């Protein structure tokens, strides 16, 4: 019920934001840990580098990065190499050391594509010294954004930005909860397009759009098998969710950076705390990715979501060489086995030959349809 994203329409809107509203467009590579609230408070729009799923772009990226880099990072470099019109609009990019993909792609963007680049270094632990470290990185990021945009980020506009992003989180959360009703007209693919639209256009445009969605009046769909997908995110252009839902299945939870990781936890706004402290706390301590050491959030979160959404099966999605999820595969598999939750481990790249993928999905869905 939510239409596919029309990239040309997005590009036209972004051009208007640049020309009419004097907004800067800042590309963000790391999937999480960069506070978009800070970018928005500098009167800029955070644009997630979210395009992917294209075998040709990935192959192009292999001219810069080795085959042992994840296909998402290689694909991103491929889009820059091909002068993708969306990425051509960017005024600057942010990258860092979120994972090996981020580290390698950031290096190549800086070296070959002549775009102002802001590098952020992330800690890997959640210890108190890591929190102080991240806060200092956010102070540096704030200064660089101010200098890039020519706009000062005040305490007030940062609070306003945090509140607006929380409204978006709530809106997404409420829509996702609609998927608990087994006759809901919404599908996982609807949420996929909705969140990618937000990743590309920012909060103002999204809030209006989300508020106009009329779920209640849409045609009801019944009897779909509820499944959860966890692991590597699903880029815009990757057809995996579509392939899954071609079966009699509904993806009720997308437990990845391109799904609930953004909106599962709201930012705890405490007016007595400085906004940068609030952001550092949220992004480090509530980070849902598997990059943090120790990685304590993923398994309990997935087990709770399986119960909450009455999930019949879990897909552990691992893009090849996606280190955080490759490293977590055995621990994740054992925990779900122990909890008696049927799980399909799906390691893949962006290959266009999907027959084998469909066969594996079909066999798994047939098996859980009897559970």
Interface contacts to ligand SF4, rule CB under 6 A: 31, 70, 72-73, 99-102, 232, 319, 322-324
Query: Which positions ≥6 away from 329 have C-beta within 8 Å?
Result: 316, 318, 345
Contact present, 311 and 253 (Cβ < 8 Å): yes
Of 34 and 99, nearer to ligand SF4 (C-beta) is: 99
Rounded to a whole number of angstroms, the minimum distance from the CB of residue 259 to ligand SF4 is 13
Angle (deg, nearest 10), helices 100-112 and 71-81 = 10
When the beta carbons of 64 and 309 are compared against ligand SF4, the nearer one is 64
Q: What is the β-pairing status of strands 225-231 and 92-96?
A: unpaired
Q: What are phi and psi of 25, to 5 degrees?
A: -110, 120
Residue 144: φ, ψ to 5°: -70, -40
For the bound state, the minimum distance from the C-beta of residue 40 to ligand SF4, rounded and expressed in Å, comes to: 23
Nearer to ligand SF4, 17 or 350 (CB): 350
For helices 155-178 and 188-201, angle between their N-to-C axes, nearest 10 degrees:
170
Is the CB of 55 or the CB of 277 nearer to ligand SF4?
55
- Least CB distance from residue 127 to ligand SF4, whole Å? 22
Cβ atoms of 172 and 194 within 8 Å: the answer is yes
> What's phi and psi for 143, nearest 5 deg?
-65, -40
The closest alpha carbon to 233, from 322, 297, 147, belongs to 322
Q: Which is nearer to ligand SF4, 97 or 167 (CB)?
A: 97
- DSSP letter for 98, please: S
C-alpha span between 361 and 348 (Å, rounded): 12
> Least distance to ligand SF4 from the beta carbon of 214, Å?
34
Q: How far is the CB of 358 from ligand SF4 (least distance, A)?
A: 22
For the bound state, the minimum distance from the C-beta of residue 123 to ligand SF4, rounded and expressed in Å, comes to 17
Instruction: Quote the least distance from Cβ 153 to ligand SF4, whole Å.
Output: 27
The gap from C-alpha 364 to its chain's centroid, in whole angstroms, comes to 25
Closer by beta carbon to ligand SF4, 46 or else 226: 46
When the beta carbons of 73 and 210 are compared against ligand SF4, the nearer one is 73
Residue number closest to ligand SF4, CB atom: 101
CB-CB contact of 67 with 320 (8 Å)? no
């Amino acid at each position: 019920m939510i239409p596919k994203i029309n990239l040309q329409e997005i590009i036209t809107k972004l051009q208007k934001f640049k020309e009419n509203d004097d907004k800067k467009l800042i590309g963000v590579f790391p999937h999480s840990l960069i506070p978009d609230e800070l970018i928005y408070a500098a009167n800029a729009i955070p644009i997630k580098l979210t395009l992917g799923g294209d075998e040709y772009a990935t192959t192009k990226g292999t001219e810069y990065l080795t085959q042992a880099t994840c296909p998402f990072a290689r694909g991103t470099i491929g889009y820059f190499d091909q002068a993708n019109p969306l990425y051509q609009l960017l005024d600057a990019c942010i990258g860092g050391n979120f994972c090996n993909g981020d580290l390698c792609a950031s290096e190549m963007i800086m070296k070959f594509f002549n775009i102002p680049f802001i590098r952020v270094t992330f800690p890997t632990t959640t210890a108190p010294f890591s929190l102080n470290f991240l806060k200092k990185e956010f102070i540096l990021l704030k200064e660089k954004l101010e200098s890039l945009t020519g706009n000062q980020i005040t305490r007030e506009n940062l609070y306003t930005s945090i509140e607006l992003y929380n409204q978006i989180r709530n809106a997404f959360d409420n829509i996702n909860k609609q998927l608990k009703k087994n006759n809901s007209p919404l599908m996982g693919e609807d949420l996929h397009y909705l969140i990618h639209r937000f990743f590309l256009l920012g909060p103002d445009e999204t809030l209006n759009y989300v508020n106009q969605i009329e779920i209640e009046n849409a045609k009801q769909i019944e009897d779909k098998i509820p499944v959860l997908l966890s692991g590597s995110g699903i880029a815009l252009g990757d057809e995996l969710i579509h392939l899954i839902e071609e079966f009699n299945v509904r993806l009720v939870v997308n437990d990845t950076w391109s799904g609930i990781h953004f909106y599962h936890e709201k930012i705890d706004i405490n007016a007595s705390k400085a906004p940068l402290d609030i952001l550092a706390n949220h992004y480090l301590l509530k980070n849902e990715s598997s990059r943090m050491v120790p990685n304590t959030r993923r398994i309990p979160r997935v087990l709770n979501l399986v119960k909450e959404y009455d999930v019949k099966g879990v897909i552990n999605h691992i893009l090849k060489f996606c280190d955080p999820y490759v490293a977590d595969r055995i621990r994740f598999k054992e925990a779900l086995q122990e909890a008696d939750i049927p799980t399909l481990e799906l390691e893949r790249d962006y290959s266009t030959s999907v027959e084998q993928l469909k066969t594996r999905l079909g066999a798994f869905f047939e098996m859980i349809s009897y559970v």
